[in-house]
Structure 1
Amino acid sequence: MASVDLTLEWSSEQEVREITTEFATKLEELLRLAGELEGVTAGEVALTFVDDEAIHELNKQYRGMDKPTDVLSFAMSEFGEDEIQINYEDEEEADIEEGEGSVSESFIEPLGDIIISVPRAIAQAEDYGHSVERELGFLFVHGFLHLIGYDHQSEEEEKIMFTKQEDILQKAGLIR
């Protein structure tokens, strides 16, 4: 099995008592499991925990939806026909020396950003009758799958995506 070198950088714009050191480790485990399942062996995911007001503004600005949501994903690899894709691995010029390592050695390709509304996650956990940690894990995995190209616009796409999410959560021990 190929080595998985996925990294998680997370921050919070509010006090989140649910994000303990143990839960941060669980998020890293979820990322590793999802990466292994999907053959994503390297990259960085930026995760930010916000309140409903912040996610409402982002949802309005980027999706044209004037309401809060539970999770947003902004993939770095979504290339439109007018965008230029930069392939760092094939460019020898990327090996410019910087300190002890080269740019190509120290560069971790960003997969994208995931933003989760903690108040919405807490409310949904209560509605679904499971832990806040399970709901946050679900939203994180959901966001990751969006980053790598999954969607749920059709019933078939939704079934595929939600089956994958449940499989990853079960493997990590985040059951309902």
Structure 2
Amino acid sequence: MNTIDQFQIKIQNSQNHISIDEAQLEEAACFLLQSEKVNQADISLAIFDNPTVRELNQQYLAHDYDTDVLSFLLDCQTDPELQIPDLRGAGKTLEGEVIVSAEMAVALAEKYQWSAENELLLYVVHGLLHLCGYDDLSEDELQLMRAREQQVFDHWGLKIPRREE
């Protein structure tokens, strides 16, 4: 558990493809939630292998393919007085789950020429942004989401490798 009372981050690591720095993931989640001005959050972060993530993708979204991250918003309440137009998480109390594939992170890290840990961190950031209300279904929304991802990674001085969408 993290030390920031307003954010509860629970991590379940059920894979053996990479070692997980739980403290870094908690710090990243809290940093993102703070920068989005989220009021409170109770987040479950689960790290699995490809077959498990694919099974969950099939079971809950009826998608029969491997994926890097799944996000499930379980509850969201918004205080209208705390909303900020440019921050989709502002004023929200969130409960959600982010599920990421460590196996996918290992495979794609080599392609993008950076560490599997950074690739996994990107999946966590992406999933949390979905919980905050960002989307990637249109080109404009995707560009906004990519910009927010990079702003979070700027905190660690990391440049996210360019991706073909």
Specify the TM-score bucket, using the shorter chain as the normaliser.
0.7 to 0.9
- Stretches of structure 2 lacking an aligned partner (at least 5 in a row): 78-92, 161-165
Identify, as 1 or 2, the structure richer in helix: 1
1:5 pairs with 2:13: no
Tell me which residue corresponds to 1:73.
71
1:146 maps to: 130
Output the amino acid matched with 1:58: L
RMSD: 2.0
Structure 1 residue 132: deviation in Å? 1.0
Counterparts of 1:134 and 1:65, CA distance in 2 = 26
From 117, 123, 138, give the equivalent of 1:133: 117
Query: Quick one: distance in 2 between partners of 1:175 and 1:128?
Result: 11
Structure 1 distance, partners of 2:94, 2:139, is: 30
Counterpart residue number, 1:117: 101
Q: Which residue of 2 aligns with 1:155?
A: 139
Matched AA of 2:108:
Q
Q: CA deviation at 1:16?
A: 4.7
Cα distance between partner residues in 1 of 2:30 and 2:120 = 16
Is the Cα–Cα contact under 8 Å of residues 17 and 106 in structure 2 kept in the other structure? no
Maintained 8 Å contact 2:8/2:41: yes
Q: Which has the higher contact order (CA 8 A, sep 6+)?
A: 1
Q: 1:93-151 deviations in whole A, cap 9, x for unaligned?
A: xxxxxxxxxxxxxxxx7621111111101111111001111111100000001112111
- The TM-score with structure 1 as length reference comes to 0.74
Is the CA contact 2:50–2:101 (under 8 Å) kept in the aligned structure 1? yes
Q: C-alpha displacement at 1:30, in angstroms?
A: 1.1
Displacement after TM superposition at 1:162 (Å): 0.8
Deviation at 1:18, TM superposition (A): 2.2
TM-score when normalising by structure 2: 0.78
- Name the SS of the counterpart of 1:153 in structure 2: coil
